[in-house]
A and B are shown apart, each in its own frame.
Chain A
C-alpha cells in the first residue's frame, strides 16, 4: 500500500465536515441547531482556505465570519426564537420543488467542474514555495500595488499591476455606513401607548 498523502487526507476531512454540516443546515428544522451546524460548516471552509495556501484569508474567515457574522445570526435567532418559530417545517410539495431545482443546479455545476480537470496538473514545488511565504505580507503589499505574485510581468506602463486600495477604502466606508444604518433600523422604538415610567 502506497503512503498516504496527508495533504489530501486533511482536504477530505475538512471537505466532509463542510459538506455534511451544510446539508445538515438545509435538512434541520430547529433554527438554533441550524446556527450551530453553520458554525461547523464555516470552520470547515476556513480549514480548506488554510490548506489551499490562503492563510490570512483562513484567519479572516474564522474571525469575521464565524466570530462575527454567525454570532450576529445567533443574536437574531435568540431574539426571535419564541415557541412556534423555533421549528417551522415546509410542506412536502415545496421540498420536492426545492430539491428538484437544487439537484439540477448541482448537476450542471458538477458537469462544468468535470471539464476543468484536464486543464490543471497539481504542481507540488510551487505549493511548497507558497507555504513558506505567508500571504499576510503579500496581501498587504498587494493592496498598495506592490504585487509580489506578478514579478516577471512586463514593466510597460499600460500593464503595471494594480493595487486594491480604492476598493479597500470604499468597503471600509460602506461597512461603517451599513452598520450605523442597521443599528438605527433595528433600534428599540418607544411605543406611544405606554405612559411615562416616571409618574
Chain B
C-alpha cells in the first residue's frame, strides 16, 4: 500500500477534516433530538480545528502556505469558544425541555412560549 510506506502529506489531514465537517453538517440537518444537533456542531468545529492544525504542522515549515503557530492558537481559541457555546446551547435545550416536555426539535415550530 502506498499510504503505509510513504510519509503522510497535508491533503490526507484535509480529507479527514472534510469528512468530519460533512458528518457534522448531516448530523445537524437530520437529527430530531436537540442534543444530537449539538453533537453535529461539535463535529463541525473539530473538522475545522483539524484543518488549522494540519496547516500549522512542521511539514509546512518555510512554505508560504504554512501557518506556523498561528494555526494552533486559532484552534485553541476555537476549543474554548466551542465549550462556551455548547454550554449555552445546552441550557437553551434544557429550558425548552422543561417548558414543553419534549426535546424533539420538530415540536419547536411555534414562536410563542
Point out residues on A near B: beta carbons under 8 Å: 2-5, 7-9, 11-12, 15, 18-19, 22-23, 25-26, 31, 34-35, 38, 41-42, 45, 48-49, 52-54, 56-57, 60-61, 64-65, 68-70, 72-73, 75-77, 79-80, 85, 88-90, 94-95, 97-99, 101-103, 105-106, 109-110, 113-114, 116-117, 119-124, 126-127, 129-131, 135, 138-139, 142-143, 147-150, 164, 167, 171, 174-175, 178-179, 181-183, 185-186, 189
Q: Which of the residues B68, B93, B102 comes within 8 Å of A150, measured between beta carbons?
A: B68
Could you tell me the distance in whole angstroms from the C-beta of B36 to the nearest C-beta in chain A? 6
Is chain A's binding surface mostly helix, strand, loop or mixed? helix
Is chain B's binding surface mostly helix, strand, loop or mixed? helix
Question: Which size class do B's interface residues fall under?
Answer: 35 or more
A12 to chain B: which residues have CB within 8 Å? Answer: 3-4
Could you tell me the distance in whole angstroms from the C-beta of B23 to the nearest C-beta in chain A? 4
Could you tell me the distance in whole angstroms from the C-beta of A100 to the nearest C-beta in chain B? 10
A-B contact count (CB 8 A): 262
Q: Which of the residues B16, B36, B63 comes within 8 Å of A48, measured between beta carbons?
A: B16
Q: Does B62 contact A (CB under 8 A)?
A: yes
A9 touches B23 (CB 8 A): no
A80 touches B69 (CB 8 A): no
